[in-house]
Structure 1
Amino acid sequence: MNAQTTIEQTYGFSQMVLKSYIGDLTDAELLHRPGEGCNHIAWQLGHLISSECSLLDSVAPGNSIELPDGFAEKHSKENAGSDDPADFATKDEYLALFEKLQAASLGALASLSDEDLEKPAPEFLQSMCPNVGAVFVLISTHVMMHVGQFVPVRRKLGKPVVI
């Protein structure tokens, strides 16, 4: 197995966990916060999408997707405290963006050689990701940094264990 295949499978696993955790949540339930001072699921979904677009553009310029107008701003740190449903997308809209972004990220990854993956990452990422391959590892695992926060919301709502 090569690096691209490993990253692709990791990406797929992360998306499977994400979809399992939000599959039975309503749009309104996405606005529940796992605890005081925590970001609600809708904001986190948008943050994940916006971040992936930025990361992908940093290592594969022109390969990311176009986000709806104002999407990145509504999911910025400055808007993390908003509980206004009008600021956020629906679950189906988030999932559609994830699907388009997955195709873009995996397409960009497939176009790179092992030598491309070993090239230095953009300077602003090098403290965490020394090379392009590590940026794709971050893209494939970033979701997993957040989905654990979805479980307390599921428990509060009386949702079943899905994994």
Structure 2
Amino acid sequence: MNTIEFIKVGLEESKNWTCRLLDDMRETPFVEPTPRGGNHPLWVLGHLIVNESVLLDEWIQGKPNRFPEYTDLFGYGSTPVADPSKYPAYDEIRPRFDEIRQDTLAFLDQLSEDDLDKPSYCVKDPFCKTVGNCFQSMILHTMSHSGNVTDSRRAVGKPPLLS
């Protein structure tokens, strides 16, 4: 397995796992993961969408974020609130994650191993200095937020999907 194949598997598996959790919370997307609040499933979904555009569009390709309408709600520094009137519907934004991840994988298919070592357009995150680092961050970021959704599932009384 080469590095690009490794990244591809990581992207596919991290999305599949996280979407399995998210889709299981489709009917209750505002359940906060702790009694003190936190990143509810709808915010996690929107945040992953906006962040993947930051990584792919802005930091890898040097283009604008394709989801400017979601940046204030879900971007860096946004604060999740459990108020449905503040957010788009789950079914409205869920396809956006599929779309951007499909574009991410298609872009990755065009790269060579050497392209992964090229510098990114990122100037503020020391972990995203190269194109390869940005792809690594996509995988890790998706998996880290799956924990929020796992906790929200437990808060609503659902059993673990794996034990």
TM-score of the pair, normalised by structure 1 = 0.85
CA distance in 1, matches of 2:11, 2:95: 16
Could you say which residue in structure 1 is the equivalent of 2:61?
60
- Answering whether residue 83 of structure 2 is matched by residue 46 of structure 1, we say no
Q: 3-state DSSP class of the match of 2:29?
A: helix
Relative to structure 1, the CA distance from residue 77 to residue 140 in structure 2 (aligned partners, 3 Å threshold; closer, same or farther) is: closer
Task: List structure 1 runs of 4+ shifted beyond 6 angstroms.
Answer: none
- Does structure 2 conserve the Cα–Cα contact (< 8 Å) formed by 1:44 and 1:146? yes
CA distance in 1, matches of 2:129, 2:70: 29
- Does structure 2 conserve the Cα–Cα contact (< 8 Å) formed by 1:65 and 1:101? no
1:37 Cα deviation after fit? 4.2
Identity %: 28
- Does structure 1 conserve the Cα–Cα contact (< 8 Å) formed by 2:123 and 2:129? no
What is the root-mean-square deviation in Å for CA atoms of aligned residues?
Answer: 2.2
Could you say which residue in structure 1 is the equivalent of 2:99?
100
* Offset from partner CA, 1:58-116 (integer Å, 9 cap, x none): 21245x8833x622222235542433213223333332011100111111111111121
- Does structure 2 conserve the Cα–Cα contact (< 8 Å) formed by 1:120 and 1:126? no
Could you say which residue in structure 2 is the equivalent of 1:160?
159
- Does structure 2 conserve the Cα–Cα contact (< 8 Å) formed by 1:47 and 1:75? yes
Q: Does 14-23 or 2-11 show the bigger shift?
A: 14-23
1:39 Cα deviation after fit? 2.1
TM-score of the pair, normalised by structure 2 = 0.85
Runs of 5+ consecutive residues of structure 2 not aligned to the other structure: none
Q: 3-state DSSP class of the match of 2:10?
A: helix
Could you say which residue in structure 2 is the equivalent of 1:74?
73
**Matched residue type, 1:42:** L
- Does structure 1 conserve the Cα–Cα contact (< 8 Å) formed by 2:25 and 2:41? no
